[in-house]
Amino acid sequence: MTKIKAQEEACSGERTYQELLVNQNPIVQPLASRRLTRNLYKCIKKAMKQKQLRRGVKEVQKFVNRGEKGIMVLAEDTLPIEVYCHLPVMCEDRNLAYMNPGAAAGSKCPTCVIMVKPHEEYQEAYDKCLEEVQSLPLPL
């Protein structure tokens, strides 16, 4: 299947995991597995209920600079990549977990960056996701 044909199919209706991977930008590393993406999606839904999400580049960057902890989720299809290419470096400097999901991040408003903060209501799911994200290989 050609890339153009896959992109056309990805634009119509329900998209599979593989179809969502077609529009990745070149700096997508580390990329989450399908299972981790599903677990992270569940954690994001729980965090939305508890209002423990930070959305958008400006808000996430502000709270990272303030020393807030959490898992940063970067959208893999954001173009131009200059919009958020500085965030992985900030995360590595501050020992924060970050990753690119293989599918949509689960936020109702379109955004290219989400930060999931820990909370006691979903601490077990958060810890599970954090452990998996930290075990992902860092980009070279």
CA 36, CA 133: separation in Å to the nearest integer? Answer: 8
For the segment 16-62, what is each residue's pLDDT rounded down to a tens digit?
666 666 666 666 667 777 888 888 888 888 998 998 888 888 999 99
Query: Hey, which CATH number is domain 31-135, 3.30.67.10, 1.10.10.410, 3.30.1330.30, 1.10.3860.10?
Result: 3.30.1330.30
pLDDT at 117: 92
CA 140, CA 33: separation in Å to the nearest integer? Answer: 19
pLDDT at 26: 65
Domain boundary assignment for the chain: 31-135
Which DSSP symbol is given to 136? Answer: S
For the segment 128-139, what is each residue's pLDDT rounded down to a tens digit?
988 988 887 766
